[in-house]
Amino acid sequence: MEYESKLTDIIASLPEVDGGFLYDPTRGIYSNQTAGTVDDLSLLQVSTKLSKIVSMLAVHFHDTGGIRVTFKDLILYGLMFEENNWLFLLHHPSLSPGMVKMTVQMALNIQQEEIPELPEAATTEDNESLLDVLMNDDSELQEPLTIIEEELATHIGPVAELVFIDAINDWKDAPPSLETLPELIEMLAKEIDEEDACDLFRKNMKSFAGATE
């Protein structure tokens, strides 16, 4: 496949890139070129998370064609090159976003204006408005929601913001209140794949409005 060879060329041309892979929601991760960087189990977990993230992007952020997630010593960069088809690179923080963008642009023969800018913190207008209300200084939910989102981030990392926004969108029908916090907490707990981490999240959150274990 053409894009598999393009991915190989991109990885070879940038010493700061540790590997990469292609992804689409129907096939999952394919053309995996991350040998020695990511084990098979971790890659499977990444694929599961990507399915959720890409699904949320398709529903909530229609004009978003890029993903950039920062970990401790690696950055996961993703670009949608065709509808629902993505190219992902794992690279060191020392490699500038501009260099990654330019290299991918040249390899895939994409015009600069066709490559979308990566959002720092994408939100929809509806959810942004709801969050503004819930996180207002006068809101009784501001403190518990802040703690809940921070706790979620310790278990699933930088994607916690997207997962939290998506859960808030579902929770708004409850409607949001201290009494319905257990419903939100349970929705978020189900997004944590590791059983021990999920149990710990529930345990740490059970003090809010009588959240169940």
pTM score, whole prediction: 0.52
Q: Can you tell me whether residue 146 is helix, strand or coil? A: helix
In this prediction, residue 81 has a pLDDT band, given cuts at 50, 70 and 90, of: confident
Which domains, from first to last, does the chain contain? 2-114 (3.30.450.30), 125-205 (no CATH)
* Residue 73 scores a pLDDT above 50: yes
Per-residue pLDDT of 35-45, as tens digits, reads 776 665 565 56
DSSP assignment of 150-196 equals: HHHHHHHGGGHHHHHHHHHHHHTTS--SSTTHHHHHHHHHTT--SHH
Question: Burial of 24 by CB count in 10 Å (0-12 exposed, 13-18 middle, 19+ buried)?
Answer: middle
The confidence score (pLDDT) of residue 122 equals 36
The confidence score (pLDDT) of residue 148 equals 93
What's at 165, amino acid-wise?
I
On average, the pLDDT of the chain sits at 76
In this prediction, residue 138 has a pLDDT band, given cuts at 50, 70 and 90, of: confident
Cβ atoms of 67 and 118 within 8 Å: the answer is: yes
